[in-house]
Amino acid sequence: MATPRDETHFGYSTIPLADKQGRVDDVFHSVARRYDLMNDLMSGGLHRAWKDALLTAVNPPKGDRAFALLDLAGGTGDVAFRVAQAGGPNTRVTVCDINAEMLAVGAERAAQRGLDHAVTFEQGNAEELPYPDRSFDCVTIAFGIRNVPRIDRALAEAYRVLKIGGRFLCLEFSSVDLPGLDALYEFYSFKVIPRVGQAVTGDREAYQYLVESIRKFPRPQAFAGMIGEAGFRRVSFRQMTGGVVALHSGWKL
């Protein structure tokens, strides 16, 4: 159901739009140290395959051509590390996230993996990016866009900072419509994930928000429309794992 312009969803709750970012920040502040472990537990490791599909689409150059990627809402750096490891010596990744705790975990992981020369972590809001126009060859956002209060602003900003010819790629949870799988997915989402979240992070509410926010996110066709409205061309999407996630793509041409 549509909400008035100054209201939005926080999971299944309707809250003032101005309050959403603070509520989202509390969620990721609370789970930052256990975030990566929870991703593996909740998805049974599948998030790795989904991120590999994103990496294949990014396709960073193997040679010494310069390549600048912005990973929006990049959190603890998972996507950034994959791209930095797959790319050539002049591949550089900027992880931009609003949450200092998630970034701190990411920066520690980058140092442990010897990737701190290629990956930088910067605090910023996807709705108001601290980068000049046309500065990146590719912009990615994985499991981040549904947390951003004003999605249209984040898409406009991604478009602004991309170079002409650059690609926007967004990995996000989607809609499971396969008979049988949908009931199983519903059960797993609402009965299992919040309990695992409670056991591992001590924060059941954070994982209740996660599953509710997935259900409130626009369906893939509608989200593809929003990407087109931001100015992107050749907009497409591909669903994976029976519709559990979708990889969306658009080009700045």
* Interface with ligand SAM (CB under 6 A), residue from 99, 189, 201, 213: 99
Can you tell me the distance from the alpha carbon of 131 to that of 134, in angstroms, rounded to the nearest whole number? Answer: 9
Q: What is the 3-state secondary structure (H, E, C) of 141-195?
A: EECCHHHCCCHHHHHHHHHHHEEEEEEEEEEEECCCCCCCHHHHHHHHHHHHHHH
Q: Which residues pair with 236 in a beta bridge?
A: 249
**How is residue 191 written in tokens?**
């009965």
Based on CB atoms, which residue is closest to ligand SAM, 82 or 252?
82
Can you tell me the distance from the alpha carbon of 135 to that of 220, in angstroms, rounded to the nearest whole number? Answer: 28
Based on CB atoms, which residue is closest to ligand SAM, 97 or 203?
97
| Binding mask of the shown chain, residues 35 to 74, with x at each position contacting ligand SAM by CB under 6 A | --------------------------------------xx
Q: How far is the CB of 203 from ligand SAM (least distance, A)?
A: 14
DSSP H/E element including 110: helix 100-112
Task: Kindly state whether residue 127 participates in binding ligand SAM, applying the rule CB under 6 A.
Answer: yes
Based on CB atoms, which residue is closest to ligand SAM, 91 or 125?
125
Q: How far is the CB of 173 from ligand SAM (least distance, A)?
A: 10
Residue recorded with tokens 């599948």: 46
> Could you list the residues that contact ligand SAM (CB under 6 A)?
21, 24, 28, 73-75, 78-79, 97-99, 102, 125-127, 142-144, 147-148
